[in-house]
Structure 1
Amino acid sequence: MVQLNLLGRDPHGTGAFWAAEHVSLADPEGVAELLLTLRSAPPAREALLRRRPARHVRLDDPHGLSRLVDELRRCQAQDVIAELPERAPAEHVRLDYASGVAWLLDALKDARAYGAARVLAGRAAHSVPLDDPRGVASCPPAGPGRVNRRPLAHPSRWNRRA
Structure 2
Amino acid sequence: MIRPDIRTDWTMEEARAIHALPFADLMHRAQTLHRAHFDPNTIETASLLSIKTGGCPEDCGYCSQSAFHDTGVKATKLMETEEVLAAAQRAKASGAQRFCMGAAWRSPKDRDMDKLCDMVRGVSDLGLETCMTLGMLSPEQVARLKAAGLDFYNHNIDTSPD
> TM-score w.r.t. structure 1 length?
0.33
Higher helix share: 1
> TM-score w.r.t. structure 2 length?
0.33
Greater Rg over alpha carbons, structure: 2
Higher strand share: 2
